[in-house]
Chain A
Amino acid sequence: MRRICYAAALAASLFGAAIHAEIDARAIAFNCLNCHADSPASVDTSIPSLETLSREQIQQALLDFKYDRKPATLMPRLAKGYSDEELAAVADYLSRD
């Protein structure tokens, strides 16, 4: 195991740590929890829980917010900040079992 790590580390250092990885959904999705962390499905709050939503439901909602098909006070302003691919990755990540 240590040898594998060494090889990986060497490869990483050769290419330089500054090279960006591909879209990391976590980098976007972690920010969803700022507002949605305190909304377990069992509690009725005005900010919906993400727990019971499927990937398709989350992705559709995000796209509807982005393209002004679903009115809301805040989410349309946020969803416009991301590409459709990024929103799909976020939906995939947030719905992961």
Chain B
Amino acid sequence: MAGLSRRRFLQGLAGVGAGVLGGCAGLSNLTGAKAHVVVVGGGFGGAAAAKYLRLLDANIRVTLIEPKAKYITCPASNWLFAGLTNLDQLTVDYLALQDKYGIELVVDSVSSVDAARRRLRLTSGQSIVYDRLIMSPGIDFRWDAIAGYDQATAEQFPHAWQAGPQTLLLARQLQAMPDGGVVLMAVPADPYRCPPGPYERASMMAYWLKQHKPRSKIIILDAKRSFSKQALFEAGWIKHYGYGAANSLIEWHSLADNPLLELDRQSRTLTSEFGDRFRGDVLNIIPPQTAASIAVQSGLSDVGGWCPVRPLTGQSLFNEFIHVIGDAAHYASIPKSAFAANSEAKACALAVASLIHQKPVAEPHWLNTCYSLITPEHGISVAGVYKLDAVSAIMSVKGAGGVSVRNDDEAAALEADYARVVYRSLVADTFR
């Protein structure tokens, strides 16, 4: 087995696909036409689904529709606040997906889905017909949650919850803030994209402030009573940022019973239901979220704002030819992370290949691992192993997963290194 190259390994995937499905390779139906799968959204879910589908069966035609020619990853984008990365390093393109895997890229957005005719209309006016549709459109924001905070206001008070110009804007505001200034961070209730993200962001900002503006403070105003990896974050904050002391760089306040209702732009003040007022120099307001609007408009979401799916295949509960994966979909208790989106994409690709060939769908397995940096040398992680239970619902496998067991310096340094390597690997596994 020595010398098995990654390239050969990947060829092996295609080989196995052809072997398993060989008799009917390429048949979308009994008429012999080549199956066409359209993937909407080129993030970690959509890109991985497109790539793995082609690896599983090169006879399936795969089209990826994504409005941006290049993609800036949300994972690792918090590291920018500590000066550990920049937008260039966070940017990936779709060249490998096209050249190595033969995926047809359409740089456009979907304006409507005609599910009855299995046809998409694009903003350019073009129409695309599919046999199966995989929707991985990500999130949109609920602008009705905090009065005075809307899409236009986000240009002044960035959410930075879709990586890109918003991330840069927030970093520049942090850098321009006077020493002794206050950063307010408003964090929504579950579920939302990247549960530990706000706390990693606070950590990375604190790391930078500690060096450059040590009299400053980050105040997290949280709609939750507790948060992901809380004990690990708080232990790290005590160790590095004086958490709990009067001059702590980070304060965390639960506003679970006293939600933030209003933003006054002029005074940069957030007001809660009980009338508590919080004034900041920099405001990072992360609004509550829903599935991206195209999924909602297409009738794929429920009253909760996310898209319910049949976990075995990722098929929408509302349309058997549409699969939904990634943050837009409801795969609870799997969290909304890029890692999980990639895992959902692989399970979905296996299911779609089987469905196209009218084969039984194998039992899916999902995995999630999320690393967060508290400092550049202090990493922590949470993991989960997921499969179907007896009634075909998603369950977290008991006895597996959980947060970092060791929290000593050696383990913290190892996990900080793994955070970087895993980020690069996840990008490679998804986009290259």
Interface residues of A (CB under 8 A from B): 1-2, 4-6, 8-9, 12-13, 15, 17-24, 26-28, 30-31, 33-41, 45-47, 50-55, 73-74, 76-82, 94-97
Q: Does B152 contact A (CB under 8 A)?
A: no
CB interface residues, B 349-394, toward A, < 8 Å: 350, 354-355, 357-367, 369, 381, 383, 385, 387
Whether A52 lies near B30 (C-beta < 8 A) is no
Whether A97 lies near B411 (C-beta < 8 A) is no
Assuming the contacts A47-B425, A51-B9, A52-B4, asked whether A12 and B359 have C-beta atoms less than 8 A apart, the reply is yes
What is the bound-complex CA distance between A24 and B353, given in angstroms? 13
What 8 A-B pairs come out closest when comparing CB atoms? A81-B385, A81-B400, A24-B362, A37-B429, A38-B425, A31-B367, A30-B346, A5-B24
Whether A47 lies near B405 (C-beta < 8 A) is no
What is the bound-complex CA distance between A30 and B48, given in angstroms? 11
What distance in Å separates the Cβ of B268 from its nearest Cβ neighbour in chain A? 40
Assuming the contacts A8-B24, A24-B350, asked whether A47 and B421 have C-beta atoms less than 8 A apart, the reply is yes
- Nearest B residue to A19 by beta-carbon distance? B360
Whether B30 lies near A6 (C-beta < 8 A) is yes
What is the bound-complex CA distance between A74 and B381, given in angstroms? 8
Assuming the contacts A23-B363, A51-B4, A51-B9, asked whether A1 and B23 have C-beta atoms less than 8 A apart, the reply is yes
What is the bound-complex CA distance between A97 and B367, given in angstroms? 25
Chain A residues lying within 8 Å of B426, measured Cβ to Cβ, are 34-35, 37
Whether A21 lies near B361 (C-beta < 8 A) is yes
Chain A residues lying within 8 Å of B358, measured Cβ to Cβ, are 8-9, 12-13, 17
Chain A residues lying within 8 Å of B369, measured Cβ to Cβ, are 34-35, 74, 78
Whether B400 lies near A46 (C-beta < 8 A) is no
What is the bound-complex CA distance between A55 and B387, given in angstroms? 24
Whether A78 lies near B428 (C-beta < 8 A) is no
Whether B400 lies near A95 (C-beta < 8 A) is no
Chain A residues lying within 8 Å of B32, measured Cβ to Cβ, are 2
Interface residues of B (CB under 8 A from A): 1-6, 8-9, 12-13, 16, 23-24, 27, 30, 32, 52, 312, 339, 342-343, 346-347, 350, 354-355, 357-367, 369, 381, 383, 385, 387, 397, 399-402, 404-406, 411, 414-415, 417-418, 421-422, 424-429
Whether B361 lies near A18 (C-beta < 8 A) is yes
What distance in Å separates the Cβ of B252 from its nearest Cβ neighbour in chain A? 25
Most buried by A among B4, B27, B399, B418: B4
- Nearest B residue to A75 by beta-carbon distance? B383
Whether A37 lies near B362 (C-beta < 8 A) is no
What distance in Å separates the Cβ of A79 from its nearest Cβ neighbour in chain B? 8
Whether B429 lies near A33 (C-beta < 8 A) is yes
What distance in Å separates the Cβ of A77 from its nearest Cβ neighbour in chain B? 5
**Cross-chain contact of B361 among A6, A20, A34, A46 (Cβ < 8 A):** A20
**Cross-chain contact of A80 among B23, B52, B399 (Cβ < 8 A):** B399
**Cross-chain contact of B365 among A9, A27, A52, A54 (Cβ < 8 A):** A27
What distance in Å separates the Cβ of A68 from its nearest Cβ neighbour in chain B? 10
**Cross-chain contact of A17 among B354, B385, B400, B418 (Cβ < 8 A):** B354
Whether B360 lies near A81 (C-beta < 8 A) is no
Whether B401 lies near A78 (C-beta < 8 A) is yes
Chain B residues lying within 8 Å of A55, measured Cβ to Cβ, are 1
**Cross-chain contact of B4 among A26, A37, A95 (Cβ < 8 A):** A95
Chain A residues lying within 8 Å of B342, measured Cβ to Cβ, are 34
What distance in Å separates the Cβ of B53 from its nearest Cβ neighbour in chain A? 12
Whether B422 lies near A35 (C-beta < 8 A) is yes
